[in-house]
Structure 1
Amino acid sequence: MERKENCSSENALYYARILFVWFCLLGQVGHVVAKRLKVEVETPGTLPELVGKKAKYKVTDLTLKGTLNGRDLCFLREMAGRDKERQSTPGRLRVLDMRYVSFARGGGGYVRHGEWREVQGEHTLPPYLFSECGLTHIDLPERLDTIAEGALGATRISRIVLPENVFVGASAFYGSNELAEVVFPRQARGVWKGAFEGCAQLKTLSLNHVDFISGGAFQKMPAVERIEVNGDVGQLDGWRTFAECPQLKRVDFRGVVLGTGGPTLLADCPRLEQVVFHGDILSTGLGAAEHCPLFEGYTVKGKVLRSQHKDFVPQVSDEECLEGRGLADFMSRFAPVVRRIWAHGGEVMGYMKKTSAPWFYHSACAWASEGRDEEALAHLDIAIKLGFAKYDLIKGGKKWDALRGNPEFQALVEKVREVGDYLYVLKKSPAYREDARPMPAFTYQSATDSNLVRVRRYFNLDSIAGDGDEISQIKNLMYWLHDAIRHDGGSMWPDCARNSIAMYELCKREGRGLNCRFLAQVLSEMYLAMGFPSRFVTCQSKAYDTDTDCHVINMVWSRQLGKWIWMDASFAAYVTDENGLLLHPGEVRERLIKGLPLVLNEDANWNHKTKQTKEGYLENYMAKNLYMLDAHLESRFETEPADGSGSPRMYLVPEGFWPLSGHTTYDDRYFWQAP
């Protein structure tokens, strides 16, 4: 008995030890499972339940699949060491695989960073998502198109592989002090301001094709020594793009550059010696570097078609001026850049569209002259997509005669007509119609106002207007201003109070002119001071949001005629019908649409240098700019103050056409109502 009891005790001890080891192993396995986890989120907002509270702060390596919203991202931040108030958590997540993740709006904010941050788009890594989190490695979503502001800032990531066609947003990696390697894709859509600011381990950057590099893109990088772009660049902004990089020595651009801004690409880089452009540049504004004592100037191994600062970046000389086949070959090196940008839904920036479109048109003409139809049509297509809209050139150009029967050419011409045949566009505009809504009144300051009395006396307007009838006085005031201040459409806005006296004195003091807007403001105050109700009217094209060329004229009320009339001090112009009746802008617009006779005064001119014609001034220039009209509701002394505090503007638009801002009407009778 005694021996059996001993055996029984030994067996019990043996099994107890086995159970202990088993439970220990189970514990270890459970611990391992908790460290590495794979989760598929089929319904946005369910990540917290799928991971669970017990594993939340134990997981160190997480693979995610599915769609995440704000609730999921808040939980994910907590797993990675920071909550939505940017406070520390016990989270231990360090490795994150998001290759098959997308994002969905909803679920609320996930972090308060200045303001509550929320999901922005399906394929955008949201702003400040992992800022200040403890991640050391992340595999970004394969379909990611944007890394938003600060999304990966102040992490512990040491190496990052960027997905194809990504846009790297402002401060995307700011303060990531352990980031030592960035692997760029074959094509990036852009790099924005301060993307790698404060990345203290990043010594080199090697980009490939990139659509856009913004001002300040590579600023405040304490360790970077060399930056190279091994592909082509769409646009390189020229404002402190490389700045405050104390170790930077060299920058290389190995492909072609469609265009650069300027002038200050480089600033506060004390060791910078060389910036080399190995390929061609279409257009550049690069100028002097600031506080870069070792920098001796830009090296351009290719050709530069246009340079704003030739002392710093010489352009092709007059002797080697590119034209004909030479221009065609030159522009052919830029065509792939533009096509590559468009291939992934990108856009050529506005400035470069305007600059490059004419050159692609000229190169298309060159190819057409050589009978190279395929190349000619390809370059013409690019020019049109970039905004080329000179219908008269393509319609009448003899170089296109051989292609006029080509269906592809005909389709391209029709595209130009839809935007560049301004009379055709105006005639196709929807009609005005009555608007029954209550509308605010247009008001006109009395000539007895003290400021207008001062204007009348300052300019001696009674003498300028003369003793003739009302119409002659209205014309005399316009002609006097046309002679007194030259029209300068490219002039800077006046740095003074925006009233007639201050602007006139500025022009006389500085020997400068005014653009059409300010000339019209001066004339409007002169008319008001003489007791003639007046508005200055902004005339814009259908493409007002991309076409920066508008025109501003005056409409002044004639009691003698009982109607508004058109006066344009920029061109000393007014318009009548076939019987000599003076017309207002709305009547001119209607007659252009209906094809009725219009007569431009014989002495209409630009600065007494260029005579204006009905065909050029009315049927082309103003036909373009009479699509949309607007005027301030209140016409007075200093109608449009420099601080922007003027009265609202009322827009007269064709029915169904809506501008971006302001009061809008499609009732022309309301807009042209008598004062």
Structure 2
Amino acid sequence: MKQIIKRGSFFTLMFMLLGCLSLYAADNDLITKQITIHLEKAGTLPDRIGSSKKYKITNLKIIGEINGTDLRMIREMAGSISYGNSTDGKLSVLDLSEAKIVEGGDSYYTDYDNNNNYYTSNDVIGRMAFFGCSGLMSLNLPAGITEIDYGAFALCSGLTSLTLPAGITSIGSWAFQYCSGLTSLTLPAGITEISDGAFALCNGLTSLTLPAGITSIGHDAFYKCSGLTSLNLPAGITSIGTNAFWNCSGLTSLNLPAGITSIGYNAFEGCSGLTSLNLPAGITSIGDYAFRRCSGLTSLTLPAGITSIGNWAFANCSGLTSIYVYAEKVPKIGSNTFEGVDAKKCTLYVPMGTRDDYWLSSFGDYFENIVEFDVTGIDKTTTSTDVEEVARYSVNGQRLSAPTKGLNIVKYSNGSVKKVAIR
């Protein structure tokens, strides 16, 4: 029996060694140094590289004009054929910083579902241009690029490094969907909107810098970007679309700009890392399910102009202990708006003289403790000396770095929230 075991172990070891040697030989056959190709004429990349080296090059730099024929070749080298199926391509580093995309040549991608062929356009990363090129890890784009079209980098799951040129003014819908390896990205100043699904399922994204000119965030824009921990939304944003931040469970800090007037359906559902939320004064409506399952929320401030709160908007926000509503006219709320909020633990604070109105309304179905407070005066509660201030906000919900003249909303380390007048 011992001889059999030894003999079996020997053969196993031999197979392992042969396997390793085989893998080493295969890896050793790859061309890992950067290959630089000067294209004197667009469409000639296949002739310059040839079929024998097509799937061996791992690092490529192209100088000159490239068209659809060249891009088709690049896609195959990067692991994805013209209709999305995989190839044996090993290209992982691509430098196009000195290249220029021009129209012409063959189609680089075929969408059989819709019977469409896609061709290059001048200075545009076209529709589905690098779709499914999951082997690409690093990419430098041409400096003259002005637009990134629909699904251009979707399913580029290996992409960890990407620099976007300053001239880009438009990023299409679903452009970076499933780029799960991307950890940080800075968007150029010329971009004015985050299109639908642009960064959906980029769950490795932890840092994102948005330019000041952005005015809207489309539906599903950051859908399930669970790695995002904080995000500063530019002051010019006026709308946040459906599912925009759905299940961004890592989001702990959120600053909503003053110009936002509505929050869409499911916009922040499942953002369980959020602990406090102050909505800007201009918000008048909150969509269905907007903050559902934000179980980490302990405090909530609703501005005076709020008129409607959608179905299930704050359902299952089980951590809420205080809600301050500044609206003297009771807002209309949908069905199950506060379902799952602990009626005994959470106190609803309402403007002086409105307690009965709130108690008789649908709010009274959810809250046992409804307390009036003076929306313009000082909170009379004295803060204990062993309780520390952890955050301070203006009435409009803007984060304050220091006490500011007027009414301040102060959150303390014991979970309480007080209103303090600063003269």
- TM-score, reference length from structure 2: 0.56
Q: Which runs of 5 or more residues in structure 2 are unaligned?
A: 1-28, 311-322, 329-423
Counterpart for residue 125 of structure 2: 125
Separation in 1 of the partners of 2:324 and 2:176? 33
**CA drift at 1:299:** 6.3
Counterpart for residue 87 of structure 1: 85
Counterpart for residue 358 of structure 2: none
Separation in 1 of the partners of 2:84 and 2:65? 23
**Pick aligned residue for 2:225 from 204, 221, 242:** 221
- 1:549-580 CA-to-partner distances (Å, cap 9, x unmatched) read xxxxxxxxxxxxxxxxxxxxxxxxxxxxxxxx
Separation in 2 of the partners of 1:276 and 1:144? 39
Counterpart for residue 77 of structure 1: 75
Task: Report the AA paired with residue 148 of structure 1.
Answer: D
User: Would you say the 8 A contact 1:80–1:93 is kept in 2?
Assistant: yes
Counterpart for residue 293 of structure 2: 292
Counterpart for residue 246 of structure 1: 249
User: Would you say the 8 A contact 2:31–2:56 is kept in 1?
Assistant: no
**CA drift at 1:236:** 2.7
Following superposition of structure 1 onto structure 2, how do residues 517-596 of structure 1 map, counting pairs within 5 Å? none
**Pick aligned residue for 2:172 from 163, 169, 176:** 169
Separation in 2 of the partners of 1:275 and 1:121? 44
Give the secondary structure class of the aligned counterpart of 2:98. strand
**CA drift at 1:41:** 3.2
Task: Report the AA paired with residue 102 of structure 1.
Answer: K
User: Would you say the 8 A contact 1:101–1:141 is kept in 2?
Assistant: yes
Give the secondary structure class of the aligned counterpart of 2:63. strand
Task: Report the AA paired with residue 47 of structure 2.
Answer: E
Following superposition of structure 1 onto structure 2, how do residues 475-486 of structure 1 map, counting pairs within 5 Å? none
**CA drift at 1:219:** 0.8
**CA drift at 1:250:** 2.4
- 1:323-364 CA-to-partner distances (Å, cap 9, x unmatched) read xxxxxxxxxxxxxxxxxxxxxxxxxxxxxxxxxxxxxxxxxx
Q: 1:232 to 1:187 in 2, by over 3 A?
A: farther
**Pick aligned residue for 2:275 from 266, 273, 276:** 273
Counterpart for residue 427 of structure 1: none
Task: Report the AA paired with residue 200 of structure 1.
Answer: N
Task: Report the AA paired with residue 59 of structure 2.
Answer: D
Counterpart for residue 18 of structure 1: none
Separation in 1 of the partners of 2:324 and 2:189? 28
Task: Report the AA paired with residue 240 of structure 1.
Answer: N
Q: 1:110 to 1:297 in 2, by over 3 A?
A: farther
Separation in 2 of the partners of 1:121 and 1:211? 27
**CA drift at 1:158:** 1.2
- 1:2-25 CA-to-partner distances (Å, cap 9, x unmatched) read xxxxxxxxxxxxxxxxxxxxxxxx
Separation in 2 of the partners of 1:249 and 1:207? 18
- 1:581-615 CA-to-partner distances (Å, cap 9, x unmatched) read xxxxxxxxxxxxxxxxxxxxxxxxxxxxxxxxxxx
Separation in 2 of the partners of 1:249 and 1:206? 16
Q: 1:262 to 1:201 in 2, by over 3 A?
A: closer
**CA drift at 1:197:** 2.0
Give the secondary structure class of the aligned counterpart of 2:174. coil
Counterpart for residue 204 of structure 1: 207
Counterpart for residue 179 of structure 1: 182
Q: 1:42 to 1:297 in 2, by over 3 A?
A: farther
User: Would you say the 8 A contact 1:271–1:292 is kept in 2?
Assistant: no
Separation in 2 of the partners of 1:167 and 1:62? 26
**CA drift at 1:96:** 0.9
Task: Report the AA paired with residue 172 of structure 2.
Answer: G
Q: 1:203 to 1:35 in 2, by over 3 A?
A: same
Separation in 1 of the partners of 2:33 and 2:101? 25
Separation in 1 of the partners of 2:137 and 2:146? 22
Please give the root-mean-square deviation of Cα atoms over the aligned residues, in Å: 3.6
Task: Report the AA paired with residue 103 of structure 2.
Answer: R
Q: Which runs of 5 or more residues in structure 1 are unaligned?
A: 1-30, 318-675
Separation in 2 of the partners of 1:124 and 1:151? 10
Separation in 2 of the partners of 1:161 and 1:274? 34
Counterpart for residue 404 of structure 2: none
**CA drift at 1:131:** 2.1
- 1:521-569 CA-to-partner distances (Å, cap 9, x unmatched) read xxxxxxxxxxxxxxxxxxxxxxxxxxxxxxxxxxxxxxxxxxxxxxxxx
Counterpart for residue 51 of structure 1: 49
- 1:625-654 CA-to-partner distances (Å, cap 9, x unmatched) read xxxxxxxxxxxxxxxxxxxxxxxxxxxxxx
**Rg comparison, structure with higher value:** 1
Separation in 1 of the partners of 2:235 and 2:77? 40
**CA drift at 1:297:** 6.9
Aligned residue-pair number: 279
Overall identity of the aligned pairs, in %: 24
Counterpart for residue 153 of structure 1: 154
Q: 1:291 to 1:39 in 2, by over 3 A?
A: same
**CA drift at 1:173:** 1.8
**CA drift at 1:141:** 2.2
Separation in 2 of the partners of 1:240 and 1:313? 25
Give the secondary structure class of the aligned counterpart of 1:76. helix
User: Would you say the 8 A contact 2:38–2:64 is kept in 1?
Assistant: yes
Task: Report the AA paired with residue 186 of structure 2.
Answer: V
User: Would you say the 8 A contact 1:272–1:292 is kept in 2?
Assistant: no
**CA drift at 1:83:** 1.1
